[in-house]
Chains A and B, each alone.
Chain A
Amino acid sequence: MPEPLLVVRDVEKHFGGVHAIQGCSFEVGAKTITGLVGPNGCGKTTMFNLITGTFRPDSGAVIYAGRDVTGLRPHVMAQLGVARTYQLTRVFKSMSVLQNLLTVPFDQSSGERKQWAVEVLAAVGLAEEADATAGDLSFGDQKLLEFARVFMLHPKLVLLDEIFAGISPALQERQMRVIRDFRARLGVTFLVVDHTMRVIMNLCQEVLVMNHGQILAQGAPAEISRNDRVIEAYLGNRSAMKGVDHHRD
C-alpha cells in the first residue's frame, strides 16, 4: 500500500446516547481511489463529517498529509485541500453554474481561476450550462455541478458521498472517467462512499467496509467480495456482488 495521505486513528463519536463511531481506524493511500461501503446508518457520512471538521471526534485522531488535523474547522480543511460532496446535493441555487465554481476562493488570479472552472465544467460535461442558474438544473446536473465544485479547491483528497446514486449509467461512466483522469493527471486521492457495487468494484483499488461505526474489513475489491464477514454483515447474499446495484431505500 502506498504512503497514506489520510490516517484515521481510534476515532470515537457519540450523539447523545448513540455511539455512531466506535474506535474506527483506517488509512487511505495517497493517489488511490478507495471505496467506503457499509449498510445504511453504519457511520460513513459521519466519518466524512469527522474528517472534514464538520464534527469534532470525542477522541482519537485524524492525520492528513502527515499533520494532525483533528478538530480543525471545515473551511481550514478545505483550504488544506480536502474537498467533499454531500449525499443531499448542495449548490448555491440562485447563482449561475460558473459563479458556483468561482465562489470557491483559491490563491489564483481571477483569469486562471475562470480558465480552470471552464476546464472542470468541460471535464464533467457541464460546459454548455455554464451560464444557467444552478437551481434550474436537473437533479443529475446539480450532482455534476457539485462534483465539479470539489476540483476548484485543487484538492489533494476528495470525499465523494454517493455521487453515483440515482443517475444514469452513462453519467456514472463519465464521473468514473473524470475520477480516474484527475487521479492519473493530478495525483488526486479519492475516498468514495457509494451503494452502487458495480462502480465501487470497478473504480477502487482498495475497499473499506464499515459496520456499526467500525471498520469490518479492508482489501482489494476481489478480496472483499469473497470475505464472508462482509457478505454476512452487509450484502446478505452473494448475488449482490455480481453487479447488482444496491440502492438506498
Chain B
Amino acid sequence: MNSPGWSAALLQVIVNGLLVGGVYALSAAGLNLVFGVLKVANIAHGDFMMLGAMTAYAVSLKLGLSPYIAMLVAAAVLAGVGALTQRFLVERVIGSPMFVSLLLLYAVSMVLRNGALQVWGPTYVSLAHDSTVWTVGPLSLSEVRVVVFALGLGLTLALLWLLQKTAFGQSLRATAQHMDLAEACGINVRRVRMQAFALGTALAAMSGALLIMLFSVNPSMGEVFVLKGFAIVVIGGLGSFFGAFTGAMIIGVAETLTSFYATTQLADVTVFLIFLIVLIFRPSGVLGGRAT
C-alpha cells in the first residue's frame, strides 16, 4: 500500500483530474454568466458544447486547421448561433416563470442534439493527437493536457477580467443585479442579454473544442455535460465564478480518481453523488455561495 509507485500514481491521477477541470471550469463559467445576467438555466448548454466540438472537428478536418484555430472558429460560429437563439427565442420568455424558459431551452436542446445526430450520426469524434510528454519529478504530463488546461484557465480568467474591469462587464453586472434599474440608467438590457448569451455559448463551444483534444465525444454528449455543468456550478455556489472554478476542479479530480481506481462507468455516479452530498450539507455551495 505504501510503496512509492502507489502514491506517484495517485498524484498523477489527481493532476490529470485538475487538468481536465480547466475545461470544465470554462464551460461552467458560461453557464454561470447566462444564469446571472438572464436568470435562465440554459439546459441547452451541453448541446452548445457539443456543437462547438463538432464544429471544431469539422473545421479542423475539412480545412486542415490546427485544433486551436478550429476552437476559435467554433467560438465565433457558436457566438452567432447563441445570439440568434437569444434574440428570437429566449428574449421572448424573459421575465416569465423559470419553467417556461426551461421548456424552451429543452426544445432547443432536442433540436440541436437530434439535428446533430442526423448530420454526423452517433459516431464518436476526437481531435486527440500524440503529443510530447514532459516528465516533472514523478509526474508525466502530456503537452496537450497542459495546454488545454492553460487555455481553459486563461479564458476563464479573461472572462473574470472582462466582467470586473471593463465597461462592458459593468453593464453585464448591472443587468445581473437589477435589470430594471440598469435600463433606467441608460443600459440597453436587451443587447446586454444577447451579448451575455452569445458569450455563454462561445465559452461552451470553446470548452467543447478543448474537450475533444483529450477525449472522443458524440452528438449525445450534451446530455451528460449539461448536468455535469450544473453540478459544478451548484457545488461551487450558483453565481460565484471562483466557486464554479473550485467545483470544476473537484469534479475533474473525482472523475479521474473513480475512472482509475474503479471504472469509467462509475465516474458520473461519483460526480452526482458529490453533487447530492453538497446539496444536503452545503446547499449554498462549498464556497458558501459568495457572489462575485
**Chain A residues within CB distance 8 Å of chain B:** 52, 54, 73-75, 78-79, 83-84, 86, 90-95, 99, 102-106, 149, 152-153
Contacts and interface: CB of A to CB of B under 8 A. Distances in A.
A153 B186 contact: yes
Given A75-B188, A83-B184, 17 more contacts: A52-B184, A54-B180, A73-B188, A75-B189, A78-B186, A84-B184, A90-B180, A92-B174, A92-B178, A94-B177, A99-B170, A103-B170, A103-B187, A104-B185, A105-B171, A105-B185, A153-B185
Interface pairs A-B: 6 shortest CB-CB: A78-B186, A74-B183, A104-B185, A90-B181, A103-B174, A92-B177
A104 B187 CA distance: 7
Contact of B185 (A54, A73, A78, A93): A78
Interface string B81-102: 0000000000000000000000
Contacts of A73: 183, 188
Contacts of B188: 73, 75
B172 to A, nearest CB: 11
A56 to B, nearest CB: 14
A95 B167 contact: no
Contact of B177 (A54, A75, A93): A93
B183 A78 contact: yes
Contacts of A84: 184
A109 B187 CA distance: 17
A74 to B, nearest CB: 4
A149 B182 CA distance: 11
Most buried by B among A74, A94, A149: A74
A79 B186 contact: yes
Contacts of A83: 184
B173 interface: yes
B168 to A, nearest CB: 10
Contacts of A52: 184
Contacts of A90: 178, 180-181, 184
Nearest to A90: B181
A103 B182 contact: yes
Contacts of B185: 75, 78, 103-105, 149, 152-153
Nearest to B186: A78
B150 interface: no
B291 interface: yes
Contacts of B189: 75
12 contacts: A52-B184, A74-B180, A84-B184, A90-B181, A92-B173, A92-B178, A93-B177, A95-B174, A99-B170, A103-B171, A103-B173, A105-B187
Most buried by B among A79, A91, A105: A105
Contacts of A152: 185
Most buried by B among A93, A104, A152, A153: A104
A74 B184 contact: yes
Most buried by B among A54, A92, A94: A92
